[in-house]
Chains A and B, each alone.
Chain A
Amino acid sequence: MARRLLGLAGLAGVALAAAAFVRRGAGHRRERVDLYYEDGSMVSLQEGSAAAAPLLALGRETLRAAQ
């Protein structure tokens, strides 16, 4: 009986941890910059990269300017 209760508690803990992980992932949108060149090539700069930082800052300024 005690073992079964322990198992159920363990399952509940895993479920709660999984739900928290999913919620956290959905709440944090990954920021990025996608550049499309005339020659048809494309560069995607992810949040945290040195090249993305100034463009993301400019993007936020642009969003504020358009409010």
Chain B
Amino acid sequence: MLASAPVGASEALNDLIEISSQVRNAVVFGPDGSVEASTLADEAGAELARKANDLLDAASQVREGGGAVNQLEVATAEGSVFVVRDAERTIAATTSPDPTVGLVFYDLKSCLRDAAQKPEPKRTRKKKSDGA
């Protein structure tokens, strides 16, 4: 079930779930943590977004020189967590154990790219006036 969200993120997440058989659940959220789209119910989606932000924060402290982490994978025996972020939003996803890492990252980046696209405005044709 999708949470209420901008059309771009919801459609992108729908496409992701349709395309990727490895992704179990995913959430797209903004820099302030606000959920734009989720495969989970509202509260669970927000919790997944919070945990993903915690992961990014913890990851940024790993290297002494710092440096921003823009994608990560935590691989456990129960499954994997993927987080990918760009300038505008972040996507976090969970998968089954031993996923095809490159493929999942590719799908998540595509989803972020699609989410950034604003829905095209509907073209309206001007009616010809009778006198013209």
Contact = CB atoms under 8 A, between A and B. Distances in A.
Interface of A: 28-39, 41, 43, 45, 51, 54-56, 58-63, 65-66
A35 B30 CA distance: 21
Given A62-B48, A66-B40, A56 B77 contact: no
* 10 A-B pairs with the lowest CB-CB distances in the bound complex, closest first: A59-B74, A62-B51, A36-B71, A66-B94, A66-B25, A65-B47, A38-B68, A37-B67, A62-B81, A34-B73
Interface stretch (B7-15, B53-61, B110-118, B122-130): B53-61
25 contacts: A30-B75, A31-B75, A32-B75, A34-B75, A35-B62, A35-B72, A36-B71, A37-B63, A38-B67, A41-B67, A45-B62, A51-B62, A55-B55, A58-B55, A59-B76, A59-B80, A60-B78, A61-B51, A62-B48, A62-B52, A63-B76, A63-B78, A63-B81, A66-B24, A66-B94
Contacts of A41: 67
Chain B interface size, under 10 / 10 to 19 / 20 to 34 / 35 or more: 20 to 34
